Amino acid sequence: MLSEVLLVSAPGKVILHGEHAVVHGKVALAVALNLRTFLRLQPHSNGKVDLSLPNIGIKWAWDVARLQLLDTSFLEQGDVTTPTPELVEKLKEVAGLPDDCAVTESLAVLAFLYLYLSICRKQRWTKEDLELINKWAFQGERVIHGNPSGVDNAVSTWGGALRYQQGKISSLKRPPALQILLTNTKVPRNTRTLVAGVRNRLLKFPEIVAPLLTSIDAISLECERVLGEMGEAPAPEQYLVLEELIDMNQHHLNALGVGHASLDQLCQVTRARGLHSKLTGAGGGGCGITLLKPGLEQPEVEATKQALTSCGFDCWETSIGAPGVSIHSATSLDSRVQQALDGL
């Protein structure tokens, strides 16, 4: 039973290299961002479970007594359970969501309710439990995405940088804390459609597309090698290699057909300032990352962010290789984070 306020955070994630090629058995590198999602668990005496997700406008509550009376036998007892389509349908009945609830909001609520009903009263929080946290996070991903790779939950749990290939995930040792810009073009895209498009292009032009995928794999491996050498004392020439790899990968992804005019604009804006960018994730819009070299003056960074914002994009300055899921004391939080939590 929770007796005091618990503050937990987990990092965001981007794919550094290997988008789309990873679907075809190649290596992908994923890194944790120092842009964190914070969770505050706070006990109440009103007999309700309250869920507040301000970023997507969700504020919902359930009576604890009502939840305890529900038939939740569809949630298997014991270890981590896998949410089936039938289970998700039953969760919808339990959640009591209105018919006009948007898909994103609905899935977020269902993922929370599934995890709450499954793990409620299981208070386990030690280093040894990270694997358990990762497993449960993966099941939450399955509620939302159906058949996720496992990369997102692994990066958020363990932090740092991960290597992913054909279902096998391993951590990169001591990745450097590279500074980047994360830019959201705000152009919506359908990952499934983009992945299918690359597959179709591979079937249509196998002798052209297969070498592209092999080349992207080589870029990921070279980036892994360079990051391993950089350690805590990166050299300027290593940043030059990372910039070249970013440029080559972006051109390859455009050749695969997953680029977008908004991403081209992002690259043009940053290139004009001597910076190098690429899409991250599925492409077709979405987000891009820009490497910030050491010694870059803050006014230059701010000017770049302003130029990207002027394009209608959202832009954040952050670093990669952030810690994984973490517990915080209230006094250790940034004042802006504390203010946001207090406003819930």
Q: Where are the domains of the chain?
A: 6-173+327-343, 178-320
With a CB cutoff of 8 Å and minimum separation 6, the contacts of 110 are 88, 91, 92, 95, 143
- Tens digits of residue pLDDT in 238-252: 999 999 999 999 999
pLDDT the model gives residue 70: 64
The two tokens of residue 8 are 């937990």
**Verdict on whether the full-model pTM lies above 0.85:** no
Distance CA 288, CA 262 (A): 10
Lowest mean pLDDT among 63-72, 74-83, 151-160: 74-83
CB-based contact 20:195 (threshold 8 Å): yes
Confidence of residue 77 (pLDDT cuts 50, 70, 90): low
Domain 178-320 has CATH 3.30.70.890: yes
- 284: tokens are 């077709």
Q: Select which of 50, 152, 334, 342 is catalytic.
A: 152
Residue with tokens 């820009």: 290
Helix, coil or strand: residue 137: helix
Query: 265: number of CA atoms within 13 Å, CB side?
Result: 19
Residues 6+ apart with CB under 8 A from 254: 264
Three-state DSSP at 33 gives strand
Band the pLDDT of 1: cuts 50, 70, 90: very low
pLDDT value of residue 123: 44
Annotated active-site residue 314? The verdict is no
Q: What is the mean predicted confidence (pLDDT) over 105-113?
A: 82
**What CATH fold (topology level) applies to the domain 6-173+327-343?**
Ribosomal Protein S5; domain 2 (3.30.230)
Q: What is each CA distance from 84 to 64, 135, 140, 236, in whole angstroms?
A: 24, 15, 11, 50
Q: Is the pLDDT of residue 203 over 90?
A: yes
